[in-house]
A and B are shown apart, each in its own frame.
Chain A
Amino acid sequence: MTDNSLVSVQHLDRHYGELTAVANVSFELEQGEVLGFLGPNGAGKSTTMQIITGNLAPSAGSIKICGIDLTEHPKQAKAEIGFLPEQPPLYRELSVDEYLGFCARLNRIRRNKIQQAVDRVKQRCGLEEVGKRLINNLSKGYQQRVGIAQAVIHSPSIVVLDEPTVGLDPIQIREIRALIRELGKEHGVILSTHILPEVQMTCDRVQIINRGRLVFSDSVSNLNRQRDSRSLLLTLQQPPAETELLTIAEVERVEHLGGGQWRIHHRPDASPATRLAERAVAGHWGLAELSPEYTSLEQIFIDITTSEAGHHEEQAA
């Protein structure tokens, strides 16, 4: 455990009666890091986030926020956290300005700094145009932005966002993701999602949680390196015999997928793409598609979560 970590969670447990929602989860968040929490529905993502933000008490384990113990000094610890739950906690009868002003006072921003804080956060979240409007009359995307604005109004060290892009249209999703990246520069961000590309696009580190356990944790750049291409997709209009493809040095194995499409497996360090293209042109194979195949995060995710499930079933049997 390092002293400068923003969040330090140790051996966290949470039970709901018989049901174990979170079991022995430990992780840390460093300054300027965007941490993605990934997991299937009901894996314990939301529970973990509610515990970190003090909305739920843990059954066991310790949480330190900027070195402050959350259960012992909840007020000081909570002052360093901004939280956007799955459902943004809005007072719909208030206007955006009134609501953000209230949030500022609630987070003990000094009276003469409130206006400034509200203006800054509105500018950051693109809410300048709607300050006078009632939250109830805003679209879902804007309500979500108000939710994010509420979470960052007091410039907390840590921003926790629970599924921030659910229910938004593609353009809004892009805007919110850009906003999250921007937040990641100044704050530590914890983000939960079940959308895989979102993690790749916005996060520095990813943790996969399944059945309440942390089953995978790695940086996204490592992940990108690991998923180097090991196969190519090739579509030919006049395909040659399979043996002909195997004569190319780098090709290890070919798989016919039907309809003139082949999967060419090759060694990880050498791609046969150039040779394949040359041979295809020379031999008039009618090249229609040639593209590298990446192991996606999705594949890793599915591998991990299903193998875990299989493992559990074995144990049960």
Chain B
Amino acid sequence: MMVWTLAQRELRSLFLSPLAWSILAVGQFILAYLFLSQMNDYIMVQPQLKLLDNAPGVTQLLVTPLYGSAAFILMLIVPLLTMRLISEERRNQSLALLFSAPVSMTEIILGKYLGIMLFLVLMILLISVMPLSLLVAGPLDLGHLAAIIIGMLLLVACFAALGLYMSTLTVQPTVAAVSTFGALLLFWIIDWAGDKVSNAEASGLLSYLSILRHFEAMARGVFSSADLAYFLLFITTFLVLSIRRLDADRLQH
């Protein structure tokens, strides 16, 4: 209940700033352009595909790359959305309102997280309208599409949790944005080193840590509980860290 009140306020403030609107517009425009050019390529190669026995379907050729690009673009966008969550309130000294109200730190963090997640869900829904429009022309592998969308949601949930934590660390929203982006990029590329490490164990660890590996599995339509566990662990870790960090504001020694 209180979480919902906080989330609503967060979402409302987000839409009162031009930032949210421009992010939605620019993101949608770039992805639509990518989607169209991909479609063009597909139409070009379609006659040859017909000759193949076990040809990849339209979902694999069109939808998977679209969400792959979306994941990368969201990695750039989410830090901009999460940067102000706590840091701006701290700078405006409006956190006192939440601290003196009868709400717990957990409720504050979950409220803010839910607010930003609602926005990101909306963004993913808008992106998903593009592949769904293909249904007009022919059938899609809906199971595969559902797996990708769920993977995408889990991915941005991780991005947002990390961004929220970074925002609790600082007073400057830009510092929060830069550090969130840096951390996300590290999680994205951490397995690159893994390929070159001869020690199998270390390389396995690095590739397990890579957020992209887990998303790629889901984007291929493979929904495994190991990936799910990774995402949930990631989210919980950063939410708990955020709560602890906010509580430390009260204790500061």
Contact = CB atoms under 8 A, between A and B. Distances in A.
A92 B92 contact: yes
Interface in B4-24: 5-6, 9, 12-13, 16-17
B52 interface: no
A54 B99 contact: yes
A108 interface: yes
A76 interface: yes
Interface in A1-48: 15-17
Contact of B104 (A75, A79, A81): A75
Nearest to B97: A89
Contacts of B2: 106, 108
B251 interface: yes
A242 interface: no
B96 A89 contact: yes
Given A91-B9, A92-B92, A106-B97, A75 B103 contact: yes
Given A56-B250, A57-B251, A78 B100 contact: yes
Interface string A83-102: 10111011111100010001
B96 A75 contact: no
A106 B253 contact: no
A138 to B, nearest CB: 15
A261 B93 CA distance: 51
A91 B102 contact: no
A15 B253 contact: yes
B233 interface: no
Contacts of B250: 54-57
A106 B103 CA distance: 8
B101 A106 contact: yes
A37 B12 CA distance: 38
Interface in B71-120: 92-104
B252 interface: yes
A103 interface: yes
B252 A16 contact: yes
B138 to A, nearest CB: 45
Interface string A59-92: 1000000000000001110110111011101111
